[in-house]
Amino acid sequence: MHNRYSRQQLFSPIGENGQQQLNEKHVLIIGVGALGSASAEALVRAGIGKLTIIDRDYVEWSNLQRQQLYTEQDAQEKVPKVIAAKKRLQSINAEVEVNAYILDASSEKLPELLENVDLLMDATDNFDIRFMLNDLAQKYQIPWIYGSCVSSYGATYTIVPGKTPCLHCLLKVMPNTTGMTCDTVGIISPAVQIVAAYQVAEAFKILVGDEKALRKTYLTFDVWQNQHYEMNVEKLRKEDCPSCGENPTYPYLSFENQTKLEVLCGRDAIQIRPPKPVQYNLEQLAVQLRPYGEIQQNPYLLSLQAADYRIVIFQDGRVVIHGMQDIQEAKSIYYRLLG
Ligand SMILES: [Zn+2]
């Protein structure tokens, strides 16, 4: 029998035991954009037992420069990222069980998916969602690895509930990059790969149970400016932290649940989620919307190109209106087409 993991097993901190551990572990990656693609591929190649991926987007041409799991065909057909990712990941390693969910990370369904999850990997592009993940991780006592990147810059930090300060504890020391997003200042793929490499290395340590080896610093770098900083944050854990302190209230869990209408960060797009879940019949909807513009459709979503905007309607009722920044105008289009 060929042993596909032989080189990894020769690495003594993993060894045969570690490989066995990896094989039994379940990792949940939130977001399969650039970071999520990179860490999903690495974890699947490494032979983890089970991977769950969730993402709400479909593949676009502007993703291909850095989102390594996707192809031109995926962009052409607007395939949901998790569907394209799952197909690719299973062709890389059929032994790994891959579960894919077309889902918003702030969905009420997320807690259900946390059952028997050993590790959460952050691959989102949104701080509200990261703080929600941080609360979930504390509530369900699951380690998680924060990662973010934009431009030539990246940051990562490993959070182990009960042992390290949480993201909320670090709120005041984290560099403020609000307003900097991939859509405003761009991003280069090496920044993605460096963050993902650190995240995956930390993931291996957690999954094989080598906690002593975990990096205890908040790490940031700029690969273009040749900068690398590590901040020692061990003493920053706050006893009265609302997320990880003695009497946690998990403030970000209730905050996210109330959000129904959301402006997608820096994308010149507005997302609308209906207050109650719906199931659209996309075939029927296509007929109904034909007078409004050109329609493109696949089994998961329908896209309508109108004169001055493009609207994408997902089967579960979620809607993204591109080319739009005015919330009231977006609502009015929504009600006109779907109300
Ligand atoms: Zn905390």
Q: How far apart are CA 338 and CA 44, in angstroms?
A: 40
How many Å lie between the centroid of ligand 1 and the Cα of residue 159?
10
Average pLDDT over residues 21-48: 98
Q: What letter represents residue 321's amino acid?
A: I
pLDDT of 261 reads 57
Average pLDDT over residues 108-121: 92
How many Å lie between the centroid of ligand 1 and the Cα of residue 240?
8
How many Å lie between the centroid of ligand 1 and the Cα of residue 102?
30
Q: What is the per-residue pLDDT across 218-274, written as a single tens digit (0 to 9) for each?
A: 999 999 999 999 999 999 998 989 899 999 988 888 744 444 555 565 568 888 877
For 157, half-sphere exposure in the C-beta direction (CA atoms, 13 angstrom radius) is: 25
How many Å lie between the centroid of ligand 1 and the Cα of residue 222?
26
Examine the pLDDT at 295 and tell me if it is beyond 90: yes
How many Å lie between the centroid of ligand 1 and the Cα of residue 169?
4
Contacts 24+ apart (CB under 8 A), 103-110: 103/54, 103/55, 103/56, 104/56, 104/273, 104/318, 105/30, 105/31, 105/54, 105/56, 105/129, 105/132, 105/133, 106/132, 106/256, 106/257, 106/259, 108/257, 110/54, 110/136
Percent of the chain with pLDDT strictly greater than 90: 69
Least confident of 27-36, 79-88, 168-177, 200-209: 168-177
How many Å lie between the centroid of ligand 1 and the Cα of residue 250?
10
How many Å lie between the centroid of ligand 1 and the Cα of residue 167?
6
Q: What is the per-residue pLDDT across 302-338, written as a single tens digit (0 to 9) for each?
A: 999 998 899 999 988 888 999 887 776 777 788 778 8
How many Å lie between the centroid of ligand 1 and the Cα of residue 178?
20
Examine the pLDDT at 48 and tell me if it is beyond 60: yes
Q: What letter represents residue 123's amino acid?
A: A
128: pLDDT confidence band, cut at 50, 70 and 90?
confident
How many Å lie between the centroid of ligand 1 and the Cα of residue 147?
17
Number of other CB atoms surrounding residue 41 within 10 Å: 20
Average pLDDT over residues 61-85: 97
Average pLDDT over residues 114-118: 96
How many Å lie between the centroid of ligand 1 and the Cα of residue 220?
20
Least confident of 8-12, 60-64, 249-253, 325-329: 325-329
Q: What is the per-residue pLDDT across 137-185, written as a single tens digit (0 to 9) for each?
A: 999 999 999 999 999 999 999 999 999 999 989 877 776 555 566 667 8
How many Å lie between the centroid of ligand 1 and the Cα of residue 166?
4
How many Å lie between the centroid of ligand 1 and the Cα of residue 339?
42
How many Å lie between the centroid of ligand 1 and the Cα of residue 164?
8
Q: What is the pTM of this model?
A: 0.81
How many Å lie between the centroid of ligand 1 and the Cα of residue 152?
28
How many Å lie between the centroid of ligand 1 and the Cα of residue 138?
9
Instruction: Read off φ and ψ for residue 220, nearest 5 degrees.
Output: -135, 155
How many Å lie between the centroid of ligand 1 and the Cα of residue 161?
9
How many Å lie between the centroid of ligand 1 and the Cα of residue 232?
15
How many Å lie between the centroid of ligand 1 and the Cα of residue 111?
20
For the chain, give the mean pLDDT: 90
How many Å lie between the centroid of ligand 1 and the Cα of residue 266?
28
How many Å lie between the centroid of ligand 1 and the Cα of residue 245?
6
pLDDT of 253 reads 83
How many Å lie between the centroid of ligand 1 and the Cα of residue 135?
9
276: pLDDT confidence band, cut at 50, 70 and 90?
low
How many Å lie between the centroid of ligand 1 and the Cα of residue 174?
13
